[in-house]
């Protein structure tokens, strides 16, 4: 069955929802007597508490405001409820969405995204339970971008996958496994496969530091049960859960050899992500270099395209990381200026499309008859001819 995505009636320009999550000092930092320099003073503002020198004061702000900030004692449940849920659950209404975690190594990206992915999935299953009148199909794929090469996290074959441009679907990852989810435990089983496959490296900053970008992608299709499989139209959308690798400089992680090479690639992808976000934050004029990295190519529609997007920027409170924390907040400040334009995605089967076009055809015929006007007759006849040709093409 050839399927044609159609734009739904609702289209919605909105900004990326940006939040900041401050983690508590960890045991090592406490043992080192590290000071905690950042404080969330209300639900939207985070401040730098340490005294700035005169020179610093002219260079750095002391207060930063976002859609939401989460202090060190906030639970991941709260971060999900107030920083990601609305965006992630758009998928049930046929709207593409993405939730990203951005921040330096050991700032809490994986900690945050693991919780958010599970809470979102639990809510999606809950939604399915409450909508017995609809039939749902959930498909999961998972990929890792490591040293600018894309790997399937649901396959034991670790050969790199090609990223291609498809005229209908946009950027696609060739041969990426897409598992149809049977139930919650199947989902958990697939998650543990991903976890085992993900490249784990050890750096001086975070003992289980992830050196790769991970994208978990859930595709959800749904249609009214009565008409399911009858060539009717359905809602279809994807939600991406993106756990980025650490944004720190390779040198700060005392990297060498392999780690250094990884660091460069990680930074190249994140550098491009930063450039794309910076360009988009200044409006849409000029070239946006999505194609300069695999990460931005694959996530292009989530960055200023047909998707709702939430970014959670994770922050270490320790004084030693102040430079990285400021970089993260700078990225977050740019991201909150970026607008996306999410639409409801209705996928039509050929049969449904023919029906839709036939209805359109008779609507135009009626309009033509009732108007009785002669001046527009040739235009209208041309439109009808076009519709006829379209119908012939899909039959």
Ligand X SMILES: Nc1ncnc2c1ncn2[C@@H]1O[C@H](COP(=O)(O)OP(=O)(O)OP(=O)(O)O)[C@@H](O)[C@H]1O
Which residues of this protein are in contact with ligand X, per CB under 6 A?
A: 23-24, 26, 103, 105-111, 206, 209-210, 245-246, 314
Which residue, 111 or 228, has its beta carbon nearer to ligand X? 111
**Whole-number minimum distance, CB 336 to ligand X, in Å?**
20
**Close Cβ partners of 298 (under 8 Å, ≥ 6 residues apart):** 143, 145, 150, 163, 171, 173, 215
Which residue, 5 or 115, has its beta carbon nearer to ligand X? 115
Q: In the bound complex, which residue of the shown chain has the CB atom lying closest to ligand X?
A: 108
CB-count exposure of residue 76 (10 Å: 0-12, 13-18, 19+): buried
**Whole-number minimum distance, CB 314 to ligand X, in Å?**
6
**Whole-number minimum distance, CB 276 to ligand X, in Å?**
20
Which residue, 110 or 238, has its beta carbon nearer to ligand X? 110
Which residue, 21 or 279, has its beta carbon nearer to ligand X? 21
User: In Å, what is the CA distance from 224 to each residue of 94, 233, 238, 359?
Assistant: 13, 9, 19, 20
Cα–Cα distance between 338 and 67 in angstroms, integer?
Answer: 13
**Whole-number minimum distance, CB 244 to ligand X, in Å?**
8
**Whole-number minimum distance, CB 311 to ligand X, in Å?**
14
**Whole-number minimum distance, CB 114 to ligand X, in Å?**
8
Cα–Cα distance between 193 and 195 in angstroms, integer?
Answer: 5
**Whole-number minimum distance, CB 322 to ligand X, in Å?**
17
Beta bridge partners of 200: 210
Which residue, 209 or 252, has its beta carbon nearer to ligand X? 209
**Strand 213-224 to 134-146 pairing:** antiparallel
Which residue, 26 or 171, has its beta carbon nearer to ligand X? 26
CB-count exposure of residue 57 (10 Å: 0-12, 13-18, 19+): exposed
Which residue, 213 or 279, has its beta carbon nearer to ligand X? 213
SS3 content of the chain, % helix, strand, coil (to 5): 40, 30, 30
For the chain, the farthest-separated pair of C-alpha atoms sits apart, in whole angstroms, at 87
Of 216, 214, 191, 187, the closest CA to residue 122 belongs to 187
């Amino acid at each position: 069955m050839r399927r044609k995505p159609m734009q739904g009636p609702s289209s919605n320009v909105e900004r990326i929802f940006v939040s900041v999550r401050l983690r508590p000092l960890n045991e090592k930092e406490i043992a080192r007597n590290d000071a905690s320099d950042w404080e969330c003073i209300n639900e939207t503002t985070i401040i730098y508490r340490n005294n700035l020198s005169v020179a610093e004061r002219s260079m750095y702000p002391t207060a930063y405001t976002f859609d939401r900030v989460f202090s060190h004692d906030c639970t991941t449940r709260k971060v999900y409820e107030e920083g990601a849920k609305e965006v992630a659950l758009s998928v049930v209404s046929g709207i593409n969405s993405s939730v990203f975690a951005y921040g330096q190594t050991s700032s809490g990206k994986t900690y945050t995204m693991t919780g958010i992915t599970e809470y979102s999935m639990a809510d999606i299953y809950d939604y399915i339970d409450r909508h017995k009148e609809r039939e749902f199909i959930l498909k999961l794929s998972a990929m890792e971008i490591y040293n600018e090469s894309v790997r399937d996290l649901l396959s034991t074959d670790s050969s790199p996958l090609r990223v291609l441009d498809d005229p209908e679907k946009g950027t696609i990852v060739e041969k990426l496994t897409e598992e149809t989810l049977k139930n919650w435990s199947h989902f958990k089983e697939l998650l543990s496969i991903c976890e085992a496959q993900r490249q784990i490296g050890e750096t001086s900053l975070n003992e289980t530091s992830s050196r790769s970008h991970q994208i978990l992608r859930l595709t959800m299709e749904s249609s009214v049960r009565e008409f399911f499989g009858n060539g009717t139209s359905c809602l279809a959308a994807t939600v991406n859960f993106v756990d980025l690798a650490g944004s720190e400089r390779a040198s700060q992680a005392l990297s060498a050899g392999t780690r250094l090479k990884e660091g460069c690639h990680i930074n190249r992808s994140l550098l491009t992500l930063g450039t794309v976000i910076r360009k988009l934050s200044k409006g849409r004029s000029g070239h946006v270099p999505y194609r300069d990295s695999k990460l931005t190519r694959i996530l292009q529609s989530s960055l200023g395209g047909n998707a709702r997007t939430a970014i959670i920027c994770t922050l270490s409170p320790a004084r030693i990381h102040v430079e990285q924390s400021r970089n993260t907040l700078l990225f977050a400040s740019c991201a909150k200026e970026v607008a996306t334009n999410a639409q409801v995605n209705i996928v039509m089967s050929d049969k449904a499309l023919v029906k839709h076009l036939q209805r359109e055809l008779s609507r135009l015929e009626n309009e033509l008859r009732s108007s009785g006007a002669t001046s527009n007759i040739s235009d209208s006849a041309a439109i009808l001819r076009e519709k006829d040709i379209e119908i012939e093409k899909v039959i």
